[in-house]
Every structure is written in C-alpha cells, then in structure tokens.
A = this chain, B = another copy of it.
Amino acid sequence: MDEDVKVCLTEREIPRKWYNIQADLPHPLPPPLGKDGKPIGPEALAPVFPMNLIEQEVSTKRWHAIPEPILEVYRLWRPSPLRRARRLEKALKTPAKIYYKDESVSPPGSHKANTAVAQAYYNREFGIKRLATETGAGQWGCALSLGCKLMGLECKVYMVRISFDQKPFRKMMMRMWGGQCVASPSMETQAGRTILQQQPNTPGSLAIAISEAIEDAVTSKDTRYALGSVLNHVLMHQTVIGLETQKQMKKIGLYPDVVIGCAGGGSNFAGMAFPFVADRIHGKSVRILAVEPAACPTLTRGPFAYDSGDVAMMTPLLAMHTLGHAFVPAPIHAGGLRYHGMAPLVSHVLREGLIEAAALPQTECYEAAMLFANTEGFIPAPETSHAIAAAIREAKRATEEGKERIILFNYSGHGLMDLNGYEAYLNGKLTDYELPDQELQTSLKCLEGLPKPPPLQG
C-alpha cells in the first residue's frame, strides 16, 4: 500500500463527526466581549447567525455528528485524496516522505466548501431563506454560492470592488451557482452608500464588505450572515479534513512527524491540524506548524489581545493574535492570507504551546509552488504555496539531518483562478515585503484602551 502515490478511502469512510477542540483545551478560550467589555451571551449573536450555529460556536462537546444531508453533498468530492509527492521528494533528493491532503478537488476548488455546505444547511434548518456574506479574492463567495444552491437558499455576496474588477472569473463562478455578487461598497446598504458618497472611487476593503453583509443580514427578511473562517464553528466544520487524513495515514501505517497548513483566518490550518493537536494533547509526539506570509505576520509578530474582527468594530471583541484591526496588509497575491487577525482557537493553541508558527516571504512561496507544479503537475493556490514552501524547508532539514521524516501538509486549494500571480512572479515583478516594526507598532495603537485577555492559569 505504501507504494501508491494516492491513499483513497471509500465514501463510507468519510468521517461522520466533526471534532471540537474546545473539549480538549488545557485552558478555556477567553470569551468574546461586547462593546461594554463584558462577555457576551449567545443571544447577542442571534440577529447575525442562526441559533444552531451559535450553539456550535460556544459548544464544548467533543464530537458533533455531521447530518446526512451534508454528508450527501460531501460525497460529491469527499473523501479527498491523500497524495504522496514522490516526484517532489525525488527533485529534492530528500529521505523525507511528503504527503499532502488534496482539498482542491471540491467544485469551487478549495476547502471552503466544507463549511459553506454546512452553514447553508444549518441556516436552512433554522428557517433562513437567504445568506449574505463578503468575499475578498472570491474563494469564499464561490463556495457559499455553491453551498446555498445545493441547499436551496439564496446567496448575496459583497465582493471587494478591486477584486470584483480584477477577478471577473470568480464573479462568473458565483453567478453560475446562483450567487448574486455585487461590488462593495454598493448602493444597496446604508454603509455602502455612505462610503460611496464620501469616496466615490474607493477600491473597497474586506472591512467595508463585512459591514455591508452584516447590515444586509440584520435588515433583510429571513436572512443571516455567513463567515468563511475565524469562528469556532467554521473551524470545526473543517476538521473533516484532518480526521479523514488520520484515517488515510492509519491505512498506510504511518504517522506524521510534522503537520503543516497555511494560515490566514485559520480555517484550513485548523481543519487539518486540530485532530493532530488533540493527539498531541493526549501525549502523541507531533509538531504542528502554521505558516503565514511575512507581509501579514499575525501569529509570529502580533500580540495576543482582544481586538475586533473588522475595521469598523462591528464584531464582538475576540481574544486572538492580531496586527490591529486598523492594519492594512501589503497587496501580496495570497489574498486569502491578508487578514489582520487570526482565529481565536488557532491563536489560543499557539499560546498553549501546542503548535508553532512561521512567516515566509512570498517569492520563496512562489518558487516552491513552481517546483511543485513542475514535479507533481498540479498548480497550487498562492495561499497553499506557503504550506508547500514550509514542507520543502522541512524536507531539506530532513536531508541535512539524514532523517526519514514524514511530512504532511494541507493542499488547501488550486491556483487555476490565480495564474496572474504566477505570471507576475515569472516576470520578476514580485518583491518580498517584511512588515517594518514601526508600521506594526503604529497599527497596534488601535488596541489601546481595549480589554486585555487574562494570562493562562495553572
């Protein structure tokens, strides 16, 4: 079995439960706070999310059964293959074995579909008819459009104006799946109209788009808001990735020495990593590595602090690693990793010492992605290239140390809609950007006056 380059499971082996890491945390997650600095209860989120998802958000139950209608959709592309990158290993002349879990096989081309389908389902069960969301590069807008289509909901996507104009293909994908995508800021919300009045030519931002989507959700009939990363329930839906991978590794009688994922909001990383973090909590020896861009080094250089999820501070305060909600990341091509914060659960397990983090420059990531495409054939998303670059670093270290190490990474998505980034790289037009310390300090000033998370106890 070890000779195969793909480890496949039958559909009956798709995990039937999601894993909730909140059940196993050595210390509990600091609670989200309201504007008054006091912990908020589930009811505060009710205008924005359906109660069944809010229950998942605050749950400390270890396992949550995946409902059959979600499994039925998962079966369209799951179980996803676990592939061995034999040709990459050979090119690197490494004794390490490199495995990658291929989440690019979903219809929208990334792991985002795993939670999009789940969120659409739970909203439908709660009687919701329509979801509103924001999207930056477009991955999440596509995934939610598909999820809503398959669950029979309407979907409205506020897409950052500059991406709306630059990425027409993502917009077309959403439309094919029935998603109604508008450029943000739009004339359809008060938030959008206000900004357009002040800055008619604004390129938009994720923060503005979030404001519009939330306003839409709380003011429209039978509508709720959906988020593609960061929140606890989103990360939990993604654990189907790591749980499936564990079955596949078990099938070939191997266990990884290191588990790697790229991290923007944290959902693909957590989806792969958390089931392995659980193993680690229960005594297993495994390194777990989150990889972020050097231009947006949330985990490696941002403090663990209470901060808002958006610039306008419409969300509750979350305890997380953050560069400050006023931070504007440099325009690197891995749009999905350009977020000032990090999922509270990912931030928390880093603080607990259960995972490591590294920040990589984008040219090293593109170089890694090119080597991958020219050996394994497949073209990775710019976000995914960060995981590949880290895996290659690990493989080189294994070579130096003469160790036959097992390296596992999450191949979160394909790059077929992101080829212009590669073009820029091949034309020598991409540069690396290391966040200057002064800029970081300036950005962090926006955290002054906000409550501080309590230290880890015991």
CB–CB B178/A374 < 8 A: yes
How far is A417 from B168 in the complex, measured between Cα atoms in Å?
A: 12
Q: A149-B374, A377-B146 are in contact. Are A10 and B11 (CB under 8 A)?
A: no
Closest to A84 in B: B75
Q: CB within 8 A of A377: which of B6, B11, B12, B150?
A: B150
Interface check A389, CB cutoff 8 A: no
Q: Which of A332-383 contact B (CB under 8 A)?
A: 370, 373-374, 376-379
Interface check A330, CB cutoff 8 A: no
Q: Which of A299-356 contact B (CB under 8 A)?
A: none
Enumerate chain B residues within 8 angstroms of A450, measured Cβ to Cβ.
none
CB–CB A419/B377 < 8 A: no
CB–CB B8/A8 < 8 A: yes
How far is A175 from B176 in the complex, measured between Cα atoms in Å?
A: 29
Enumerate chain B residues within 8 angstroms of A177, measured Cβ to Cβ.
373-374
Closest to A425 in B: B176
Closest to A73 in B: B377
Closest to A172 in B: B419
Q: Which of A77, A109, A420 has the most CB of B within 10 A?
A: A77
Interface check A76, CB cutoff 8 A: yes
Enumerate chain B residues within 8 angstroms of A149, measured Cβ to Cβ.
374
What sequence of 0s and 1s flags, for each residue 155-198 of chain A, a beta carbon within 8 Å of any chain B beta carbon? 00000000000001100110111100000000000000000000
Q: A4-B11, A10-B8, A75-B5 are in contact. Are A176 and B107 (CB under 8 A)?
A: no
Enumerate chain B residues within 8 angstroms of A377, measured Cβ to Cβ.
73, 76-77, 106-107, 146, 150
CB–CB B173/A419 < 8 A: yes
CB–CB B5/A379 < 8 A: no
Q: CB within 8 A of A5: which of B76, B105, B373?
A: B76
Q: With both chains docked as a complex, state the minimum distance between the C-beta of A428 and any C-beta of chain B, in angstroms.
A: 13
Q: With both chains docked as a complex, state the minimum distance between the C-beta of A334 and any C-beta of chain B, in angstroms.
A: 17
Interface check A423, CB cutoff 8 A: yes
Interface check A422, CB cutoff 8 A: yes
Give the size category of A's interface with B: 35 or more
Q: With both chains docked as a complex, state the minimum distance between the C-beta of A77 and any C-beta of chain B, in angstroms.
A: 7
Q: A149-B374, A178-B374 are in contact. Are A169 and B8 (CB under 8 A)?
A: no
How far is A429 from B283 in the complex, measured between Cα atoms in Å?
A: 62
Interface check A416, CB cutoff 8 A: yes
Enumerate chain B residues within 8 angstroms of A168, measured Cβ to Cβ.
423
How far is A4 from B416 in the complex, measured between Cα atoms in Å?
A: 29
How far is A172 from B370 in the complex, measured between Cα atoms in Å?
A: 12
How far is A75 from B176 in the complex, measured between Cα atoms in Å?
A: 32
Enumerate chain B residues within 8 angstroms of A176, measured Cβ to Cβ.
370, 373-374, 379, 419, 422, 426
Q: With both chains docked as a complex, state the minimum distance between the C-beta of A162 and any C-beta of chain B, in angstroms.
A: 19
Q: CB within 8 A of A11: which of B6, B173, B370?
A: B6
CB–CB B107/A379 < 8 A: yes
Enumerate chain B residues within 8 angstroms of A11, measured Cβ to Cβ.
4-6
Q: With both chains docked as a complex, state the minimum distance between the C-beta of A427 and any C-beta of chain B, in angstroms.
A: 10
How far is A73 from B378 in the complex, measured between Cα atoms in Å?
A: 12
How far is A150 from B377 in the complex, measured between Cα atoms in Å?
A: 8
Q: With both chains docked as a complex, state the minimum distance between the C-beta of A158 and any C-beta of chain B, in angstroms.
A: 20
How far is A77 from B175 in the complex, measured between Cα atoms in Å?
A: 29
How far is A149 from B376 in the complex, measured between Cα atoms in Å?
A: 11
Enumerate chain B residues within 8 angstroms of A12, measured Cβ to Cβ.
4
Closest to A8 in B: B8
Q: With both chains docked as a complex, state the minimum distance between the C-beta of A370 and any C-beta of chain B, in angstroms.
A: 7
Enumerate chain B residues within 8 angstroms of A73, measured Cβ to Cβ.
377
Enumerate chain B residues within 8 angstroms of A178, measured Cβ to Cβ.
374
Please provide the 9 A-B residue pairs with the shortest distance between their CB atoms, ordered closest to farther. Answer: A107-B377, A172-B419, A4-B11, A172-B423, A169-B419, A107-B378, A5-B75, A416-B416, A76-B377
Can you report 11 A-B residue pairs in the complex whose CB atoms are below 8 A from each other? Answer: A8-B10, A76-B376, A76-B378, A77-B377, A107-B376, A169-B416, A172-B420, A173-B416, A173-B419, A176-B426, A416-B417
Q: A149-B374, A176-B419 are in contact. List 15 more A-B contacts (CB 8 A).
A: A4-B75, A5-B75, A76-B376, A77-B377, A106-B377, A107-B373, A107-B376, A107-B379, A146-B377, A169-B416, A169-B419, A172-B420, A176-B373, A176-B374, A416-B417
